Structure 1
């Protein structure tokens, strides 16, 4: 079976076109996966930021509560010291 030059050029063109389409499809798949991974990473980062903010709020509340309790203990200690001074 013998092919003419126009047939060979046509088949080469079809082969190049198919190769190009396959490469475009493959690149599209990789880009899709990459963007999906980036979206997942952004979502995980946002979740981490929210957890950090919640922990920071909790820590501030705990510090404020401890400061109030410490102030109350100081006040009670001063009261006890005054009472002890008057007893002496």
Structure 2
């Protein structure tokens, strides 16, 4: 079996055609939001390797993995798109 080509990534794992992944360019946040997320100051005392979910100009949640930080942010503010970054 061969690996799917990048053009197949959005559809190779879908269970039906109605649940196809959106193309990457539709999922991406605007560059301004990404730049703003990088400008958010890291809270004092944050251990190196901590993942931060940043949205609306502030740290919404943290976690030991990017997925845990994203899920925690989703519980805090489900309507806010987040950027995940690590210190």
TM-score for the superposition, normalised by structure 1: 0.16
The structure with the larger Rg is: 1
Higher helix share: 1
Structure with the bigger RCO (C-alpha within 8 Å, sep 6+) is 2
